[in-house]
A and B are shown apart, each in its own frame.
Chain A
Amino acid sequence: MKVEDWLEKNTFHHSEFWDLRQLVEEKERKGLKISLCIPTLNEEKTIGKEIIIFRSELMERYPLVDEFAVIDSGSTDQTREIAAAFGADVYLSADILPETGSKRGKGENLWKAIHQLEGDVICYVDADISNIHPRFVYGLVAPLIWQDETHYVKAFYDRPLNYSSGIRPSGGGRVTEILVRPLFSLFFPELTGIIQPLSGEYAVRREVLEKIPFPIGYGVETSHLLDVYEKWGLSAFAQTDIDQRVHRNQTTNALGKMSFGILQSFLSRLEKFGRLPAIPDMETLYRQFEVEDRDYQQITHSIVEEERPPMIEIPAYRKKFGRESS
């Protein structure tokens, strides 16, 4: 499928799915169950609003979402208390599949959600969105409800950033534009059709989620795209314009660490897919500099992109969902 054709057929705007009654009817006609997962770590400022809006609009007013859980990495603020106070099912990531151990990272929460939640489709929405709206969910699950051949739907949006002085518009995400898009252009040109490959909001069918590995850190979104593309091709993807997403700004240093993790996942996949000959062992120390009064200090961060295996390989999961080993 040509990228242009794919863009034409599989790129949507959330307003195309405004008729939630019709969407719920189609979901029920197809017998689909939709789960919503919010991974959290210290999100007390925004979690309450997300829960209120999603529960009221997408569970009570329009029963599009059948199950809704907050999966927390061990917040030290009031995130879990606030989420529970507004009626969300709240889980500590470490309490899910305890026999697999506990790792710290957003990808860990996403992976464990596959076992904890029971939906045929799982929609992931980040917790740090200050202009949350039901479109962040229905815009993503709608293509999966309407198109059986679609397996993985990503969000894209305008990205105004929250600065202390207010909000100002930005271009695309910085890591997307200076790292991921150049890499995709070099090695996977078809994937450049995905406008925001690093967006934290996506909805995916269970049969896809359970068959792909999960980096637990920064590389989870990139590796998802590569793995799904390798197994199911470009036509498995769709993307929806969610308009505007207001979120916290990240420092350049933080983006450097993120890029380091993404590169680890990306290069390991190039090797796995046979696109590059064996690459040497990669360093896991990321080095940055701090300068103060001509005193140059090197700061090192250990960033290891550990991966969880495809969920289908976990015996407890196969037992819970009656799956055969792949």
Chain B
Amino acid sequence: MTKKKNAKPEKLSIEQLIGVLPAYVEKLKQARELFLANVVMFGEIPGPTFRETRRSQFMLDRFHESDLHDVFMDESGNASAILPGTRRSNVIMVSAHADTVFEEDSHPAMLVGQDSITGPAIADNSLGLATVASLPMLLDRLGIRLADDLLLVGTTRSLGRGNLDGMKNFLSTRRVPIRMGICVEGADLGRLSYSGLGMVRGEIQLKIPPDYDWNRFGASGAIGHLARVVNSIMEIPIPREPKTRIAFGSLRCGTSYDTIPRRGALRFEIRSEDDAMLTELEGKLKDMIDEFSLRHGAEFKMEIIARGNNCCIPFSHPLVKTTRQIMDALKVDPIVTPSSGDLSALIDAGYPGVTLGISRVENSREENETISIEPIFRGLAQLVGLLCAIDSGHCDES
């Protein structure tokens, strides 16, 4: 890829920057096929949590092809590289998680239509990952050369049992002084996260022992017991403030029509704006499970697989304010939502950051997850605009 050797960083005022954003959208459309090819090619590489290596390897290939510096895969499988800036005194990080909720044998094949692309994990997070991998090419096409180093990262182990370990390990081992970070998600254009929501993610496992007394009062198979657990959890009073929620994400039990299952598992997530509330609810669940074990003679076990603290930067932070200005200029309506993803680890480590989405999405996390092509270019322009704003110092706290 040719580089514009004479491209120099421009210090634009925020008004000037906002003024050029519509032109960025049009220029980015000229790189449509190059960008979409990356989206599709990432989409067709399976990447379940803990088995993201092939995606990371493809990311490294793209980094090499863009002649980036320090192209590197760390012990956690995170793929990273640096696009050197002209001044090189600061580092801006842009990251996307590489893992998906789909299994390795799902054999993803993307369907490209005139206006959309459909396939498992195309939004979450093939689109985000392709955005990070394509950034050097897109900046080159726009003639933008940043003063700061741009640190690009595809993180592993973000979802489910991954517990954000990829990002946490990257930040703890790489020890780069990061000025600010942007986490990129495919969904949804307008997403603006500047806080990490406290959460406890766990699994309640049930096993009916071989000597189970099927004649005792209340005896039941695994489905009946887990249904009782669900009902009991739903009876736990949940406060309106601080905002709190218990969600059930998966119930696995049984294999046939007429055989009573003896094992099962219920996955849940507690989210709350208050860390003390998380601790209280986790304790209630634990007590409930202990009681179930004693009362019903079945083996209940609760395993906590991930947890995260509440953390945020203020709504009034210049990074948030500038992001909103950029979205407004691109006619993107902000959807403020807390993150339970990599942003939590970033802010928790003390770095200001936001999460942005790139396009509109339908059928999220289904096999037929679909992204719209047309909004992508505003999504990319918003990201480039924010990068330029950070680089020019418009997002620093005075």
Show the binding face of A for B, using Cβ within 8 Å: 44-46, 48-49, 51-53, 55-57, 60-61, 78, 81-82, 85-87, 130-131, 133, 160, 166-167, 246
Contacts and interface: CB of A to CB of B under 8 A. Distances in A.
Contacts, number: 53
A55 B107 CA distance: 24
A60 B112 contact: no
A56 B107 contact: no
Given A60-B34, A86-B33, A49 B40 contact: yes
B34 to A, nearest CB: 4
Contact of A52 (B36, B107, B109): B36
Nearest to B37: A56
Nearest to B111: A45
B41 A85 contact: no
B113 to A, nearest CB: 6
Contacts of A60: 33-34
A133 B1 CA distance: 20
B114 A52 contact: no
Nearest to B1: A61
Which one of B44, B109, B112 has the highest number of Cβ atoms from chain A below 10 Å of its Cβ? B112
A137 B78 CA distance: 30
Interface of B: 1, 32-34, 36-38, 40-41, 44, 65, 107, 109-114
A293 to B, nearest CB: 32
A246 B107 contact: yes
B348 to A, nearest CB: 38
Given A52-B33, A78-B114, A86-B33, A131 B1 contact: no
A53 B40 contact: yes
B109 A61 contact: no
A246 B119 CA distance: 15
Contacts of A82: 112-114
A46 B110 CA distance: 9
B33 A55 contact: yes
A160 B107 CA distance: 11
Contact of B114 (A53, A81, A87, A166): A81
A49 to B, nearest CB: 4
B65 A61 contact: yes
Contacts of A87: 33
Contact of B111 (A49, A57, A86, A133): A49
Nearest to A85: B114
A53 B41 contact: yes
A82 B111 CA distance: 12
A52 B113 contact: no
Given A44-B113, A60-B33, A86-B112, 14 more contacts: A48-B112, A48-B113, A49-B112, A51-B33, A52-B33, A52-B36, A55-B33, A57-B37, A78-B114, A82-B114, A131-B107, A133-B41, A166-B107, A246-B109
Nearest to A162: B109
Given A61-B1, A131-B44, A56 B36 contact: yes
